[in-house]
Chain A
Amino acid sequence: MNKFVKECRREWKRLRVPDAVANEMAADLAADLEEADAEGASIEDVLGSSAFDPRSFAAAWAAERGVTQPSPATGKPARGSIPLATIVAAAIALIGAAIVILTTTSAHGVAAVPSRPALPAPPQILEPHGHVPAVDAPTLGLLLLVMGVIGIVTTLVWILRTRAGSRPGPLAQ
């Protein structure tokens, strides 16, 4: 079977197109491509630019047939969830950046003040139950900043991959 048809079948399987429909589309396509080949025409003569993107071609065809079943793992999320995830990640990054900047600035400000005689350290209060390790503000800020940036990058990569995987052919819109 033609390599292009094999790629299409793989995509239809991924999209959970019923076997009967996938077999029918594959048979029609294979027959047309074989006829074109026998006449000396290339696959590009039959499919144009779609010849270079079997996944998009197969997905567009299945979608127009109305047989695409998005699986729970690959289904699209709700329309508002992507912008919301991006906003949350950006907010976390901003908060982290603000903490880092403020704490760094104040630390420098303290350093510029003339030194005073050291005061005796306050007595430590011992907690009888449990102990929560203290995290200083710059570390917390840096942590939030990194988490936010990772969130933004992950969301963007996901969006790009989703768009690339569902792009139909130029005339199939």
Chain B
Amino acid sequence: MAAAERRTQMLRGVLDLCLLAVMDEGPAYGYEMTKRLRARGLSIVGEGSIYPLLARLERDGLVETYRTASNDGPPRKYYHASCDGKRTLADGVSEWRSTRDAVDAVLGLLEPEVQP
């Protein structure tokens, strides 16, 4: 499996949490969230658009939206986490940490040697 594909697979399970997390900093529109994620090193988000995922979060009641005019452009659709979304984020962060610790216990201490 290629490295990019593996990263995409790993990210798939937590991208919704990442979006809820960047929304927790303040309401944001689609591209703004992409930039916030990229600023934290998650440029791989570009491998799959966040728009369908945002639509799913909205459909599931995890985010709420409103439309407002921006300072220097057309009106934008802003997203922010709902109460259910904040609860999902809290649960998800806890699950992520326990999963990360368990994987680290297996992989974290390894220093694989690559034969030429």
Contacts and interface: CB of A to CB of B under 8 A. Distances in A.
A17 B82 CA distance: 26
Contacts, number: 83
B74 A168 contact: no
Contacts of B59: 64-66
A49 B47 contact: yes
Interface string B74-108: 11110000000000000000000000000000000
A47 to B, nearest CB: 5
B45 interface: yes
Interface in A94-135: none
Nearest to B34: A46
B49 A34 contact: no
A60 interface: yes
Given A24-B77, A171-B11, A173-B12, A32 B48 contact: no
B52 A28 contact: no
B8 A170 contact: yes
A62 B82 CA distance: 22
A16 to B, nearest CB: 17
The SS class assigned to the B binding surface is helix
B31 interface: yes
B88 to A, nearest CB: 17
Contacts of B8: 170-171
A25 B50 CA distance: 13
A50 B15 CA distance: 16
B40 to A, nearest CB: 15
Nearest to A43: B46
Contacts of B47: 48-49, 170-171
Interface of A: 24-25, 27-29, 31-32, 34-36, 44-50, 57, 60-61, 63-66, 168-173
7 contacts: A24-B77, A25-B51, A32-B30, A50-B49, A57-B52, A64-B55, A64-B59
For the complex of A and B, the 7 pairs showing the least CB-CB separation, nearest first, are A171-B48, A48-B46, A32-B31, A64-B55, A172-B52, A64-B52, A48-B47
